[in-house]
Structure 1
Amino acid sequence: MKAMKALTLRDLSAPVTVLARLLADHGSLPAPHFDASPIYPDRLTLAIHDDPLAAAMWMETLSIPAGALVVRTHNPGRSRVEQATIRMGAAEVRFQSFVDIRGVRGGGR
């Protein structure tokens, strides 16, 4: 079995560059959870939890087309999950929004 080469911090430059650009251009947006990992070195994941307004702001900022958004419910209809993947520069950006929808009427994008 061939040994895998350990990635360096430089190998994560694509998602980190996108995150830095988002910070510089949109630093006043609500802070998302973000993740860049050597497992997927070209991916930046941005996640919003329980804040539909913040999620809508991020979807607009990222120019996510409505047709690219995948919407699901989890936990027998208690959680709404919205997810889209877009390209920004050399990185794949995965956006996710998680909202507890128990007791929420209507809503959504």
Structure 2
Amino acid sequence: MAASLTALVALDAKFSHLPAPNVDLSPVFPARLCLSLHDNLGAFEAWREALNIDPTTVVHRVQSGGGTRVLKVHGLFAGADIELVGFAPVLVPEPVVNTGAVS
């Protein structure tokens, strides 16, 4: 897990001004560092841009049930595979209420 820990230290040193993500490390994928951001796709975008990850490689999906959108992308930083994930609610427009009034 040396690569992911080294990358985490480097991320903190270089990008401490960015919104704090949730950080996940796993011995199953020792060279991967997962950064997840919740309810703030602007923060996801700021991290994607800071890590210089191509925006065309972002994968978008909506979780089953339709309530949460998920953005996911991978990039390399300081020798580690960075998995960047953003979660945000799917915004549903307010229904238009017909009051019967004529304008």
Q: Same fold per TM (> 0.5)?
A: yes
Distance (whole Å) between structure 2 residues aligned to residue 80 and residue 96 of structure 1? 10
Instruction: Percent identity, please.
Output: 32
Pair 1:95-2:95 in alignment: no
Alignment match, 1:39? 28
Alignment match, 2:7? 18
Alignment match, 1:61? 50
Runs of 4+, deviation exceeding 2 Å: 102-105
Select the residue among 63, 74, 77 that pairs with 1:85: 74
Alignment match, 2:98? none
TM-score relative to the length of structure 1: 0.78
TM-score relative to the length of structure 2: 0.83
TM superposition shift of 1:103: 2.8
Distance (whole Å) between structure 1 residues aligned to residue 73 and residue 42 of structure 2? 17
Letter aligned with residue 67 of structure 1? T
Letter aligned with residue 81 of structure 1? V
CA RMSD of aligned residues (A): 1.6
TM superposition shift of 1:104: 6.2
TM superposition shift of 1:89: 2.9
Letter aligned with residue 6 of structure 2? T
Report if the CA contact (8 A) 2:48-2:55 is conserved.
no
Select the residue among 68, 75, 80 that pairs with 2:64: 75
Secondary structure in 2 aligned to 1:64? coil
Report if the CA contact (8 A) 2:62-2:68 is conserved.
yes
TM superposition shift of 1:76: 3.1
